[in-house]
Amino acid sequence: GQNIDQPTEMTATEGAIVQINCTYQTSGFNGLFWYQQHAGEAPTFLSYNVLDGLEEKGRFSSFLSRSKGYSYLLLKELQMKDSASYLCAVREAAGNKLTFGGGTRVLVKP
Amino acid sequence: GAGVSQTPSNKVTEKGKYVELRCDPISGHTALYWYRQSLGQGPEFLIYFQGTGAADDSGLPNDRFFAVRPEGSVSTLKIQRTERGDSAVYLCASSPRPSGRVRNEQFFGPGTRLTVL
């Protein structure tokens, strides 16, 4: 089976940086995704890592270490609109389905 | 262009009833997925279609759940003899390609909130 762990909740101040960690134990690996989900809305794609290293896209960056089964999502210059849940998901090697962690709820305070 | 749409947005039913949830994927997307999300948790995979056929239905919890995609576009998730534990948001997603070898991210619809009384 697959096990994906991420913190339940984090709080940060507007303008600051927050790092959301995700660890995974899976039988196969074919990519790791981060999604953002505002309350009551659909998850929206943020980033994708399949090779080790850092992927940067504007204020958001995502890192992957396959040997450690570890990823993080870095949110810089936090804005109030970044208050949302952030979902880490692993795609297993054999297919295209995603296995999600429980999500990390980020609260940005003024 | 239009995103993934799901109907109804909300469905309230009584225990034991039958429900159908509909998903319209993004036009041209070959792969379609159903997930279930309970409050405060991440989405849980149910079933995945490539074209008209179910490529992976390992997430369906039991034989009360069934999904079809007869023409390779719209999909319907069917739940028989609903139970209170079926209450959740049912999310549908689609992706451009069947293969998982490239990014091929999934685009999610807004979900159907199912409440079983």
What's the pLDDT tens digit per position in A1-31?
A: 679 999 999 999 999 999 999 999 988 899 9
**CA-based nearest residue in chain B for residue A31:** B103
Distance of residue B37 Cα from the nearest chain A Cα, in angstroms: 10
Q: Residue B80 has what pLDDT?
A: 98
Distance of residue B82 Cα from the nearest chain A Cα, in angstroms: 23
Q: pLDDT class for A108, splitting at 50, 70, 90?
A: very high
- Compute the distance between CA of residue A42 and CA of residue A36 in angstroms, rounded to an integer: 8
Mean pLDDT of A81-107: 92
User: Residue B99 corresponds to which amino acid?
Assistant: S
**Residue B110 burial by CB count (10 A; 0-12/13-18/19+): exposed, middle or buried?**
middle
Whether a cis peptide bond, with omega within 30° of 0, leads into B8 is: yes
pLDDT tens digits, one per residue of A41-88: 999 999 999 999 999 999 999 999 999 999 999 999 999 999 999 999
Distance of residue B109 Cα from the nearest chain A Cα, in angstroms: 6
Q: Radius of gyration (Cα) for chain A, nearest Å?
A: 13
pLDDT exceeds cutoff 70 at B5? yes
Q: pLDDT class for B101, splitting at 50, 70, 90?
A: low
Collapsed DSSP state (helix, strand, coil) of residue B43: coil
**CA-based nearest residue in chain B for residue A6:** B42
Mean pLDDT of B100-106: 79
Tell me the β-bridge partners of B21.
B77
Contact criterion met (CB < 8 Å) for B100 and A96:
yes
Q: Residue A94 has what pLDDT?
A: 65
Q: pLDDT class for A93, splitting at 50, 70, 90?
A: confident
pLDDT exceeds cutoff 90 at B59? yes
- Compute the distance between CA of residue B102 and CA of residue A49 in angstroms, rounded to an integer: 10
Contact criterion met (CB < 8 Å) for A44 and B4:
no
Q: Residue A88 has what pLDDT?
A: 98
Q: Residue A96 has what pLDDT?
A: 82
